[in-house]
């Protein structure tokens, strides 16, 4: 198993920073047979481009110590217990290829371990994505973005949310999102992570509805924002 750690500027030692992978992981090299389908890849590329244009995914030297933020994932239709996710720190890339997408084969939230297939480090939120897929077999797409506008308007928009005490990328976060998903039956589901600044998750049956609920929430947040 491998793990990744990092030191971030001007941040308390006990406060995880964006992009820090806190779980241990095992990475197996991928072959052509391990790639996600062309259709899923095309949807990831298209929606990632839209979300980057809206600055919901990206990298900015003025935010999160300059680290990339946001990721997308899709359930593997062949083996539904697996999923494909954009790799760690790909948010700042203008374009992504198949090498930037990792297949997560197994995860253990209690031991905080991930087994993946690919050539890049799995997303720091891989276990959170895995818990969402485990919680509802109908969830086939997940988009995790950062939006100050939606996050600050979460109460006004009456969004479900994980508690402020639940930290980013932690076992508690993985458990909290699984519980929230089971408690809120509506799909697509959009929710905020109050303990993870600007963090917003959307999940549902297909990329179009998941992406649309995100864009609609941004429009609603901006509509009611002070001018």
Q: What is the pLDDT of residues 36-66, one digit of tens each?
A: 999 999 999 999 999 999 999 999 888 887 7
Alpha-carbon span 114 to 57, nearest angstrom: 23
Question: How many domains is the chain partitioned into structurally?
Answer: 1
Answer whether residue 11 is part of any domain.
Answer: no
For the chain, percent of residues with pLDDT exceeding 90 = 74
Tokens of 45: 């590329």
Distances (CA, A) of 28 to 10, 23, 153: 35, 16, 41
Pairwise CA distance, residues 149 & 198, whole Å:
8
Bridge partners of 2, per DSSP, are 25
DSSP 8-state code for residue 30: P
Query: CATH number, domain at 41?
Result: 3.40.225.10
What is the average pLDDT across 144-167?
Answer: 96
How much is the pLDDT for 170? 85
| Average pLDDT, rounded, for the chain | 89
6 located within any domain: no
d(CA 70, CA 200): 9
Reduced to 3 states (helix: H, G, I; strand: E, B; else coil), residue 34 is helix
Residue 1's pLDDT band, with cuts at 50, 70 and 90, is: low
Q: If you average pLDDT over residues 108-131, what whole number do you get?
A: 93
**In-domain check, residue 5:** no
The neighbour count for residue 214, using CB atoms within 10 Å, is 25
Angle at 136 between CA 39 and CA 50, to 5 degrees: 40
Bridge partners of residue 103, in order along the sequence: 84, 117
SS3 of residue 105 by DSSP = strand
pLDDT of residue 14: 41
- Is there a domain that residue 74 lies in? yes
Tokens for 88? 């760690």
**Residue 124 pLDDT > 70, yes or no?**
yes
Give the domain extent around 97. 24-223
pLDDT band (50, 70, 90) for residue 163: very high
Residue 16 in any domain: the answer is no
Per residue in 4-32, pLDDT (tens digit) is 433 222 333 344 454 567 889 999 999 99
| 65 part of a folded domain | yes
Q: Specify the range with the lowest mean pLDDT, choosing from 65-74, 93-102, 191-200.
A: 65-74
Contact 192, 159 (CB under 8 A): yes
Which pLDDT band, with edges at 50, 70 and 90, does 227 fall under?
Answer: low
150: helix, coil or strand? helix
Q: What pTM does this model have?
A: 0.90
| Residue 33 falls inside a structural domain | yes
């Amino acid at each position: 198993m491998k793990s990744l750690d990092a030191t971030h500027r001007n941040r308390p030692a006990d406060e995880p920073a964006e992009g820090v992978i806190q779980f241990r992981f095992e990475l197996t090299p991928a072959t052509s047979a391990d790639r996600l389908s062309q259709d899923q890849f095309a949807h990831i590329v298209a929606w990632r481009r839209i979300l980057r244009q809206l600055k919901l995914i990206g990298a900015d030297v003025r935010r999160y110590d300059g680290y990339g933020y946001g990721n997308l994932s899709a359930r593997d239709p062949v083996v539904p217990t697996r999923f494909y996710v954009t790799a760690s720190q790909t948010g700042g890339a203008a374009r992504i290829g198949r090498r930037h997408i990792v297949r997560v084969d197994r995860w253990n939230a209690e031991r905080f371990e991930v087994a993946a297939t690919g050539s890049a480090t799995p997303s720091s939120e891989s276990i959170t994505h895995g818990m969402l897929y485990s919680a509802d077999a109908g969830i086939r797409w997940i988009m995790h973005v950062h939006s100050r506008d939606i996050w600050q308007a979460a109460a006004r928009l009456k969004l479900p949310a994980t508690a402020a005490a639940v930290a980013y990328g932690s076992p508690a976060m993985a458990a909290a999102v699984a519980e929230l998903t089971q408690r809120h039956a509506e799909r697509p589901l959009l929710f905020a992570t109050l303990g993870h600044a600007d963090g917003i998750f959307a999940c549902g049956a297909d990329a179009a509805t998941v992406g649309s609920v995100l864009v609609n929430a941004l429009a609603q947040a901006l509509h009611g924002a002070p001018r």
